[in-house]
Every structure is written in structure tokens, then in C-alpha cells.
A and B are shown apart, each in its own frame.
Chain A
Amino acid sequence: GDSVTQMEGPVTLSEEAFLTINCTYTATGYPSLFWYVQYPGEGLQLLLKATKADDKGSNKGFEATYRKETTSFHLEKGSVQVSDSAVYFCALSDYGGATNKLIFGTGTLLAVQP
């Protein structure tokens, strides 16, 4: 079945460091890919998405490119801030049958230190 694999956390960085969180997927069809973020004590917020191969999603300085050849959707940010500390979830939506349910990775905790 479809699945998403994320790098294990926690990831601890200093402010202004470069961030990469790896995400790879397995899907039978042509999925859309998403990054959601969960700030402490809050719900899930959509960070960015890409709906087809070679698409780049971007938002708030974060970017991810849909790579079909490597089945990857790595999240990057050039300079992280303390306020970016959160749990990041990679997810896919692969319409199969009657539903476009989301399948999530395990989440990666990012802690940014001043």
C-alpha cells in the first residue's frame, strides 16, 4: 500500500541554519504531496503542496520539489528561525477508489535554538 517515510527526529538547529527534512513516498498512482506543520499545542496547518512531478511548493521560506524519479519531497529552508520550531509532517493523497485520504509520515520534530 501507499506509504510515507520521513527522517527521524528530533532535528536541532541554531537560528539561521539551513534545514532539510527528508521525505520519500511509495504510491501506486500519481499522488499529490503535502507538508503540514503542527506548532506546540495546535492543530495541523498546511505548509505547502505539489500536485505533479517537478512542481515546487513554497511558503514562508520553505520549499519542496516533487521528484518522481527519486519518489521524494524533501522540505528545505535556507535560514530557520526559533518560531519554526514545530513538528513537520509529510503526507500524500493518492486517490484510490472513492477517497483522497491523506497518508502521513511519522513527523519530524524541529527545535531551533537562538
Chain B
Amino acid sequence: DSGVTQTPKHLITATGQRVTLRCSPRSGDLSVYWYQQSLDQGLQFLIQYYNGEERAKGNILERFSAQQFPDLHSELNLSSLELGDSALYFCASSARGDGVRETQYFGPGTRLLVL
């Protein structure tokens, strides 16, 4: 158990809909990262938050957005869903997020299926 929790574990929805994925980082960790794992793109970094503020963006679509709240949990919002958004979405956390020697600890993921 990494200490990172994600809800829900599974999500099935229809095209055009909007969903919210939730992540709670390990106790004391200030940085949260979101990654997408899909068959065609592999594991890709989406976005990072540090202590409530956006720190970096990766290959995140404009239809997707995220935020980190004062209690440090984070939410990833996916809107106008398309079939191609079906994937496993991981959240990870680290202590600070500003050093290469840090380890990122991953949650169990949320499996999204868009029908």
C-alpha cells in the first residue's frame, strides 16, 4: 500500500459526459501528479500540482482540467468525453516535487471506460 488513494476504482460513462477523478496523496506529500495509461500512448504525464498551485503541464487535453485543494487532495476533471479517453488514470505524490531524487508513489488508479 503506497498511501495514495484514488476513487473511484472503476468508472463507466458515455461519450460527451463529464467525470471527476479524486486523489488523496500520502500524508505530508505536497506534490500530486496525474498520469494516463492507454494502450496506444503508454504511460504519459498529464499535470502536476504543488501545494495547491499548478506546477507543470504535460500532454493534457484542453477538455481536461485539474486542481489541488487546501487539504492537498486533487481532482482531475474530464469533460466532453470521447471513446479515446478510455484509459487507466494514475495519481502519484511526492514530498516536494522539485528534485530528481524524489520518489513518486502511485495510487491504484481509476479505470475509465467511455462507451
Contacts and interface: CB of A to CB of B under 8 A. Distances in A.
Contacts of B101: 32, 51
Contacts of B55: 98-99
A102 interface: yes
Interface in B92-115: 92, 94, 97-109
Given A93-B102, A99-B56, A45 B43 contact: no
Interface in A44-96: 44-46, 49, 51, 89, 93-95
A43 B33 contact: no
B42 interface: yes
A95 B98 contact: yes
A104 interface: yes
B99 to A, nearest CB: 6
A30 interface: yes
Contacts of A100: 94, 97-100, 102
Contact of B106 (A45, A51, A105): A45
Residue of A42, A51, A100, A106 with most partner-chain B CB within 10 A: A100
Interface string B49-64: 0000001101000000
A19 interface: no
A26 B64 CA distance: 29
B74 to A, nearest CB: 15
B20 interface: no
A51 B103 CA distance: 10
A40 interface: no
Contacts of B2: 43, 45
Nearest to A106: B42
Contacts of B103: 34, 46, 49
A97 interface: yes
Given A46-B106, A98-B55, A105-B42, 13 more contacts: A29-B100, A32-B100, A43-B2, A45-B2, A89-B43, A95-B99, A99-B48, A99-B56, A100-B97, A100-B98, A100-B99, A101-B45, A102-B104
